Amino acid sequence: MEKGFCQKDNLYVIIEKGCLHPNDYCQHRTACIIHFVQKEKEYEEKRKNLNNQNQNKEK
């Protein structure tokens, strides 16, 4: 389990668990590896869903 440093809370967080406060304002968000990995997982899930929908339409 990799940990990333949360500058807002000033502590280490397990990256796979994601941001502790995803809906709160954070001035460090644009440089936050925790937020970046969380968003990448969400985008990947959306891409998989779109690919599945497109494959179902082709059948």
DSSP secondary structure letters along 4-29: EEETTTTEEEEGGG--S-TTS--TTG
Distance from C-alpha of 54 to C-alpha of 19, rounded to nearest angstrom: 31
pLDDT score recorded for residue 56: 79
Q: Is 57 helix (H, G, I), strand (E, B) or coil?
A: helix
Q: Which residue range(s) make up the domain with 52?
A: 3-58
Helices (H) and strands (E) in the chain, counts: 1, 2
Give me the number of domains the chain comprises: 1
Global pTM value: 0.73
Quote the pLDDT of residue 7: 95
CA dihedral in degrees (45, 51, 54, 55; nearest 10)? Answer: -120
The pLDDT of residue 59 is above 70: no
Model confidence pLDDT, tens digit, residues 2-52: 999 999 999 999 999 999 998 999 999 999 999 999 999 999 999 999 888
- Tell me what pLDDT residue 1 has: 84
